[in-house]
Chains A and B, each alone.
Chain A
Amino acid sequence: MAGKIVEGRNLTDEWTLMPDFCVVGSGAAGGVCALKLAEAGFDVIVLEEGPNIPKEKGPATGQERKMLNERESIMYKLLYQEGATRLTKNGGVKVLQGRCLGGGTAVNWSACLPPRLETLDEWQKRGLPFTRQNLDPYLREVVNYLPIVRNDKYNTSARRFIEGCDHLGLPHDNLPNNTHNCRECGSCGVGCPYDRKMSGFVKWLPDAVARGATVYTDTKVDKLVGSGDRIREVHAHFIDGKNRPTKGTLVVKPTKGVVIAAGAIGTPGVLLRSKLDLGKRVGRFTHMHPVTITIGKYNEKTYPAYGVPDNMWSPKFAAGPTGYLIETGSFFPVLSASATLQHGEELHRIMRDYYPSGAISYAHHTTGFDEKESYGTVKLDDNGDPELDYVIPKANIKPMQESLEVMCRIHLAAGATSVYVMRNPPLEVRAESDFAEIRKINFAESQRTSLFTVHVMGGCQMNKDEKRRCVNSDFTFGAMKNLWVVDASIFPTALGANPQVTIYALALWGAQEICRQNKATFKLNHQQGGTWPWPGY
């Protein structure tokens, strides 16, 4: 019997549920676990803090579309953690994370890269069981199920990037993604209104619901309550359309256990609120991929919002513990304006100059491989909300300066008349002599530049080292017998690649472990056929 999606905002009573499993979070990992546990015959409840994404009437007669309307001002507040205003504790990094049905899969730019081999090697040294070989069936399942494809319709940013790389002799490659018949609206980052991105709310979650799972949206988990080595209850409350608590509460009493998949800030948050800190290990060693951004200004209109946003990259600088991936994208007025760190007429001039004829490239920087660094820590603020305390590691500062320089060179080689670097004060690079300014940027101090991240990892890591380990290699948490953590918070380092695919694959592995521990059958159903999107991997 099919399950359903229940919007918590409409619930005002005290509810108690007794499923087999309670999954906290409906993002990449939560969606996978919901489907595979439901498929194994378990009664599954998923709790999602963010809103449902229902269909609504479109502008034309008889047309139906998702509530996703591409408008940044509305979508950011509905679909992102803290309305897309989440910051690290010192204000230095804007942390963009999904908070809606489908979580990050609803708002990512659909990039699909596998885990770096050298990252997997490093993880093996730290006692994790994953290798390229033994992950293969899980990666293959993700590739074929979504599916992951090589979409080679390139927007202006990608085309300029290709030209610049070709001039400089730098390699570039298609970046596979999980779109299907992409409409090229460019709006992946605010949720695909056409269901052409195969996100969690298009694939994993509807399939889970079809197999009996029930998803509660607008449902914020307060804490887990346990005794001995078992979690007995999950306490939650419902929130309304403006994030305010309704009078409704929910107690879930799962008979089999709890799967936490609330993301690398949310998962430690739930555990810390539950007093499950494992001797203050939970929340520590949190990593991110800090992002440096450049906007090249060209002599013609570039229509930077439209086209497939994230299907071109350069692997040239990806290797190493502080490597970086340069990718291209699309960009929109609100996010652009919020990143300028400028005021007065200069703000408007930059928007007028760079928006209509701009092309974007940005670099995700790998962090987290130095065992002597403390990296970030998730703590609870005075209201019990999680907050990430993070300072850019020293080892990343030169690579971040370098990535800006490389991206500026690519733009200039492609014909850009200037390149905007989001430094404070803003920097417009036009010639070789301007590069010296890039090399002075101090990323370690807040607001010396506009920094973002869209990938947060760790904080609840799997590790053989008892001083760091929160999650065991069978995905159980600490000494708990019925609590599993399956999301990116288990990463012991940053990944060095867009993490969506790796989270899916590890969550499949985790779901298999949970099924095994509960004597249920786990199957991978999409092992045959398909086109492998990563030649040579």
Chain B
Amino acid sequence: MAVAGILNTLSALANPKSRPEVELEGLDHLDKKTALILFAVAEAVLGENFLQKCPKFIETVDDYLNYQRPAQRQEFLIALFIAETKLFNLIVGGNPRGFSHMSLADRRKILERLRSSDQEQRRNIYAAFVNVSAATYYASDLTWPDIGYQGVSVDHPEILDRQPPIPWRPDDTRPVEP
């Protein structure tokens, strides 16, 4: 109950910047405010226009929250609200604005401060933001050509159904097992 109270209080205080890209249909755990803050976080981690290659970013993160331990899920939502808190950003980065209202450059300054902080909690917030954003982004098929990943073999059987030389062991002439 105490955590729920904290979440409600933080939510009441938060007023994230509205973004037309953020749609809210069918979400289980994110609401409008947390989705908007998450969008601002992801944009800072991944860059502008990240939705072009990961169009279901918000939905994917929301779905993943189903599988987290409830306590950890609540901690993530609290971290989003904390990042949107003006006082927090003033203390961390000398910037008295909500995270979502900052320019991309200023958001990245905050991330950099969190990353290098001596306080474990701040480094954990940084890790949560970059882990969630980066993992979700690179889960999208559209990002795979950028990093040379050919995809999964069940969808692309030609990756395995080939004659030697096998790309990952070119000097070994044994075939891949059928």
Contacts and interface: CB of A to CB of B under 8 A. Distances in A.
B154 A70 contact: yes
Contact of B115 (A153, A341, A355, A383): A341
Contacts of B143: 333
A425 B116 contact: yes
A242 interface: yes
Contacts of B116: 425
A301 B120 contact: no
B147 A65 contact: no
Interface string B76-93: 000000000000000000
B61 to A, nearest CB: 11
B172 A183 contact: no
Contacts of B5: none
Interface in B78-121: 108, 111, 115-116, 120
A414 to B, nearest CB: 14
A86 interface: yes
Given A65-B154, A338-B134, A382-B71, A85 B123 contact: no
A83 B66 CA distance: 8
Given A242-B28, A381-B71, A153 B169 contact: yes
Contact of A355 (B108, B128, B148): B148
A352 B149 CA distance: 10
Nearest to A305: B149
Interface string A194-219: 00100000000000000000000000
Interface in B129-154: 129-131, 133-139, 143-144, 146-150, 152-154
Interface in A341-391: 341-345, 347-348, 351-352, 355-357, 381-383, 385, 387
A343 B130 contact: yes
A122 interface: no
Interface of B: 3, 28, 44-47, 60, 63-64, 66-72, 108, 111, 115-116, 120, 123-124, 126-131, 133-139, 143-144, 146-150, 152-155, 159-160, 166-169, 172, 174, 176-177
Nearest to B143: A333
Given A155-B169, A334-B139, A82 B72 contact: yes
Interface in A443-489: 445-448
A73 B60 contact: yes
Contact of A352 (B64, B147, B166, B176): B147
Consensus secondary structure, chain A interface: loop
B50 to A, nearest CB: 10
Q: For the side of the interface on A, what is the size category?
A: 35 or more
A531 interface: no
A535 interface: no
Q: Which of A86, A91, A154 has the most CB of B within 10 A?
A: A91
Contacts of B124: 90-91, 446-447
Contacts of B147: 333, 351-352, 355-356
A77 B64 CA distance: 7
A274 interface: no
B131 A332 contact: no
Nearest to B65: A83
B120 A387 contact: no
14 contacts: A68-B154, A69-B154, A70-B154, A91-B127, A185-B154, A304-B168, A335-B135, A337-B138, A347-B46, A351-B147, A357-B148, A383-B69, A387-B71, A424-B115
A85 B72 contact: yes
Contacts of B64: 77, 83, 85
Given A183-B160, A184-B160, A344-B108, A337 B71 contact: no
Question: Across chains A and B, which 7 residue pairs bring their CB atoms closest together, nearest first?
Answer: A83-B67, A356-B148, A73-B139, A70-B152, A447-B123, A337-B134, A338-B135
Contacts of A182: 177
Nearest to B2: A382
Contacts of A440: none
Contacts of B131: 338
Contact of B130 (A156, A305, A340, A445): A340
A196 B160 CA distance: 14
Contacts of B46: 343, 347-348
A382 B148 contact: no
A71 B140 CA distance: 10
Contacts of A307: 166, 168-169
Contact of A333 (B3, B129, B144, B167): B144
A383 B2 CA distance: 12
